[in-house]
Amino acid sequence: MSEEVKKINLDDYVATGEGATAVSYTHKTRDTIAKLYHPGFEADCAKKDFLTSCSAFDLGVPTPKPIRLITDGERFGAEYELIRNKRSFSRIISEEPGRLQELSLIFAEMAKKLHSTKADTTKLVSTKEKFRRFYLEKAVVPDFYKQKALAFIDTVLDTPTCLHGDLQISNVITDGKRTLWIDMGDFGYGDPGWDLGMLWSMTHRMDEQKADLVFHMSKENLLAHWNIFFPAYLGTTDPQKIAEATKRILPFAAVKIPYMFYIAKHFTLPDEAYPYIAKLFG
């Protein structure tokens, strides 16, 4: 896992997928997959994500092995171990709806294990401090919202346990033998609410078109997934305890939503959206 950037020849690869931030290329003869970020993403961004993935791998988090930093001469990215014949949990559920319960329960156990794994705080980013810096350094939200976000961030404990950073069932893959986390670029440490709040937002607030695009699932199935996942994660079916836990994680979503739009999509929400999102602060 070298930090030296190697130039690759895309003639040796086949394009196999495109996401919001990157294009994936599978090597024609080796069991590796290259992920090149779209133009506009700097080399430092690719390096940060790669080193973060290395830290997760070194901690024993089940994830494909990071191999090297790469460039095609214009874009930057990294190469990883290829997991052949893999499907994401969301893809499996879209193709085999009867497995929604099974995979949602497995996902809950994986999330609980990840959130109880001790983090290397000397190598990983504090998620709390990452969001604090975002609101202090980026003038992308109205001042009233900035103050609410910073006030909430100040109340959050910096728990030294692992966070995925983009916890959702599209980011778990399996080949039938191994089940692995992927897209580890935002891996860090902190309160599990940072992961859970955003997952709540995705499962409750996506429109039908976006749910199909991101998860290959209907809005109804996304909500059903949450309603299986969250009680299993909490270890209770008591409606009052679930309601209290849900209320606790909503402010985490309120902090994270503007960040996700800005960092992942280079997009700022319109000012009129913020009073609506601010209701999540309570």
CATH number at residue 174: 3.90.1200
Neighbours of 256 (CB within 10 A): 21
Return the pLDDT at 210. 79
What is the pLDDT averaged over residues 272-279?
A: 95
| Residue 216 or 247, more confident | 247
What is the band of 64 on the pLDDT scale with cuts at 50, 70, 90? very high
Is pLDDT above 80 for 108?
yes
Is the same domain home to 103 and 59? no
Is the same domain home to 186 and 128? yes
Is the same domain home to 240 and 100? yes
What is the pLDDT averaged over residues 212-218?
A: 82
Is the same domain home to 71 and 189? no
Residues 6+ apart with CB under 8 A from 244: none
Q: Range of 56's domain?
A: 2-81
Looking at 57, 81, 105, the residue that finishes a domain is 81
Q: For the chain, how many structural domains are there in total? A: 2
Is pLDDT above 70 for 147?
yes
**Strand stretches in the chain, DSSP E:** 2-7, 13-18, 22-27, 32-37, 66-71, 76-81, 87-88, 125-126, 162-163, 172-174, 179-181, 188-189
Q: Which of 27-36, 46-55, 92-101, 139-148 has the lowest mean pLDDT?
A: 46-55
**Residue 62 maps to which CATH number?**
3.30.200.20
3-class secondary structure, 72: coil
Is the same domain home to 156 and 45? no
Is the same domain home to 76 and 97? no
Is the same domain home to 139 and 208? yes
Is the same domain home to 49 and 163? no
pTM comes to 0.91
Is the same domain home to 139 and 121? yes
Q: Measured between alpha carbons, how far is 22 from 37 in angstroms, rounded to an integer?
A: 4
Is the same domain home to 63 and 143? no
Return the pLDDT at 2. 64
Looking at 48, 81, 114, the residue that finishes a domain is 81
Looking at 20, 49, 81, the residue that finishes a domain is 81
Is the same domain home to 226 and 109? yes
24: β partners? 17, 35
Return the pLDDT at 77. 94
Q: Which of 38-42, 109-113, 192-196, 268-272 has the lowest mean pLDDT?
A: 38-42
Return the pLDDT at 90. 94
Q: Which amino acid is at 271?
A: D
What is the band of 24 on the pLDDT scale with cuts at 50, 70, 90? very high
Is the same domain home to 260 and 189? yes
